[in-house]
Every structure is written in C-alpha cells, then in structure tokens.
Structure 1
Amino acid sequence: MAQDSEVILTLSKSIVRRYHESDADAIVRGANTHLVSQYMTDAFPSPYTLEDAARWIKIASEEGALEFAICTLDSNTLIGSCGLQHLKGVESRTKILGYWLSTDYWGQSIMTEVIAGFSQWIFEQAPTLLRLEASVVEENEGSMKVLKRAGYQYEGTRKMAVCKNEKISNVALFGFTRENYAKMAGEEIKTDY
C-alpha cells in the first residue's frame, strides 16, 4: 500500500495519491484506448506508450504539480488520474480540473466520489482559491453526469469549441466555487475574498 504521506484521499471506492515510477504500466493499460483518449485534449497521447507514461510521471512529480493517481483500495493499482492546471494573472485563483478513469472501472461511481472529494480537498488546501472549472465535450455524457453529481454547476456551452479527429464539438463548461464548497462543508459563506 502507499505510504500515508503520499495519500491525499482515502475514499470508499479508491484512494488518491502521488504518482510512483512503478505506475507506468498501469497508466498505459488504462489510458491506451480510444474510449479514454477521444475526449481528452491533444496533449493526452494516443496511442499511450510507456515513454509517454514515464514522461507524465516526471511532470506530475514536479514541485507544485497538482496531479494525482487514482488507485484501487485493495491493491493500490493505478486506475485513473485527476489533477489541476494552474492559471495565471487575474485568473490565478481558478484552477482547471482534468481527469480520466480506466474503462474497466466505469459505471461504479468511482470518479464521482473522487471528483467530489478531490474538489473539497483542494479548497481546504488552498484558502485563496475561488473556483474550479471543467470543460467537457458535449458527447461525453458520462463525464457531465460525474461533474453534476459531484456538485459542479453547468455554466454554459461554447459552440464549435473543439475539433478533434476531424470532428467539431461543443464544449460544456462546469464550475465549482468556494461558495459551493462552503455550502457542502456547512461553513459560513464568506463574501470578502
């Protein structure tokens, strides 16, 4: 099992922890499928090789990176990933959420639990953070359900926003604000950020 200092969340269906170099094979097993890559950005390799996995683990292990492995409770085997992209300037108090899960674990509410727990965790860790947001290609209905069930609010659609593999798609934008977090955590809502 992972050392406690590496685990950021222990949930009922999975754990979320820092990456290990030994995760490379599991990343390839879970990520190297069109079913996962079709909704990811072009930065997500397809096909996904061991070299890609090793490169990703190095990036995810850098100082300040907010990228984590989603693993099984019983064997600590990587089954997915979640993380946040930092924004700069006037948007520096917003982070962009990204995630994927191996198809072997779809339909088990694992990702909903991870996104809800991870979102609450990051607000606890970053007291000046104002919002998390996620963009989802409209055809990815499963991902939109995950975000809604995890407490994210639908905020609008960007028409014809992406073109991947010669297919043009709309993108739905979802947000989770510090006020959403405060309501879920039963805290007083602050208005003086």
Structure 2
Amino acid sequence: MSDIILTLKKSVIRRYRASDADAIVRGANTHLVSQYMSDAFPSPYTLESAERWIKIASEEGALEFAICTLDSNAVIGSCGFQHLKGVESRTKLLGYWLSPDYWGQGIMTEAIAELSRWVFEQAPTLLRLHASVIEENEGSMKVLKRVGYQYEGTKRMAVYKDGKISNIAMFGFTRDDYTKMAGKENKN
C-alpha cells in the first residue's frame, strides 16, 4: 500500500516515514518558519523533535502529511489537520509550514487547496476547516485567500511570542465553500 496521498503539479503529499527526520530538521530548523508557529513547534527544531513528530503524525487517524519534492520525494514542509472535539468535532484545524528554500513557488497554495478538497472527500460529516495566522505572516494569509479560505475575524492581542504581542487572523473554509469550488471546476 502506497503512503502517497496526492501527487500534485509541484509536490507530492504523503505520510511521514522514519527516514524523513533529517529532511524535516533541514526545512523546519529556522526562525523564518518558527516565528509564526505556535509554541508546540520546537525551536530549535532538533532531530529528536523530528522523530517525535513522525511518531505523532504516524498514529492511526492522524491527518498530518509530508510535503515532498517531485523529483527526490524529500520532505520540504508539512500540512495537516488537527481533530477538534466536542461541539467543534466537525471542524478540523489546518496547520502547515514550508522550508523557506521553497517559498514563492506556489507549492503551499497548491498543497492546501488539494488537501482541503481531499479531507472534505474523506470525511463526509466534516463541516469546516479553520486556520489561525499571526497577522504579520502576510504570505500565509495570501495563501489561504488564494485557496478560497474566508477571513472571519481577528483575535486582538492574542499571541505573545518572542517578546512581541500580535493579533491572530482567523480563516474558514466550509463544506459549502468546497461544494461551490468543486462545481466551478466541473464547469471548466
């Protein structure tokens, strides 16, 4: 059975492998990535951090995926969905990062678009996807808007990181958004 979830024009999305740890460290161990991530994202990002992440991402039911190059299948980023509980159990929280060496190439835009569609197809009771972005991360907000995520509001003074207070921009992508997008694609 293949561990590949999607083969896209710019990348391959697949499940993590034990052999991915070194590549994860190369891509994630930079302040350019960690500055906009939650404190759950290690900084510095060590080999032990990567091995722990691979174990978490490999648990049954996990929706955490490696973004890999087309040519070498080396990990260059991550994209996944955290399961929410209780009254939000039909919502998943989107999280992602990409090695700065690959920024500006449309890789993350394509990955989020296709994985968002994929997760709606896999989970028929799913109602929405949610993403929270530190407002200074303009690139990430542009990616979400390009994909079709809708800006839903700002949590003011919501983050204190690296000695700085920041707002959080909230984005959502609903099953209705997915259905409308899928209908447009079928007409083309």
Q: TM-score, normalised by structure 1?
A: 0.94
Counterpart of 2:20? 23
Q: Which of 53, 57, 82 is residue 54 of structure 2 equivalent to? A: 57
Give 1:131-150 correspondences, 5 Å limit.
Answer: 131-150=128-147
Query: What secondary structure does 1:43 align onto?
Result: coil
Per-residue deviation at 1:186?
Answer: 1.0
CA offsets 1:126-171 (integer angstroms, 9 cap, x no match): 0000000100000000000000001100001110011011110000
1:115 is matched with which residue: 106, 112, 116?
Answer: 112
Q: Does 1:93 align with 2:87?
A: no
SS in 1 for 2:20: helix
Q: Does 1:177 align with 2:150?
A: no
Structure 2 alignment gaps of length 5 or more: none
* Residue of structure 1 in register with 2:41 after alignment: 44
State the Cα distance separating 1:175 from its structure 2 match: 0.3
> In the comparison of the two structures, how many residue pairs are matched?
184
SS at match of 1:186: helix
Q: Which amino acid is 1:71 matched to?
A: C
2:133 is aligned with what amino acid? Answer: V
Task: Give per-residue Cα distances to partners, 1:78-137, cap 9 Å, x unaligned.
Answer: 000001111111100000000000000000010000000000000000000000010000
CA offsets per residue over residues 25-81 of structure 1, 9 Å max, x none? 000000000000000000000000000000000000001111000000111000000
Moved over 6 A (4+): none
Runs of at least 5 residues in structure 1 that lack an aligned partner in the other structure: 188-193
**What residue in structure 2 maps to residue 9 of structure 1?**
6
The match for 2:122 among 112, 121, 125 is 125
SS of alignment partner, residue 173 of structure 2: strand
1:164 matched residue in structure 2: 161
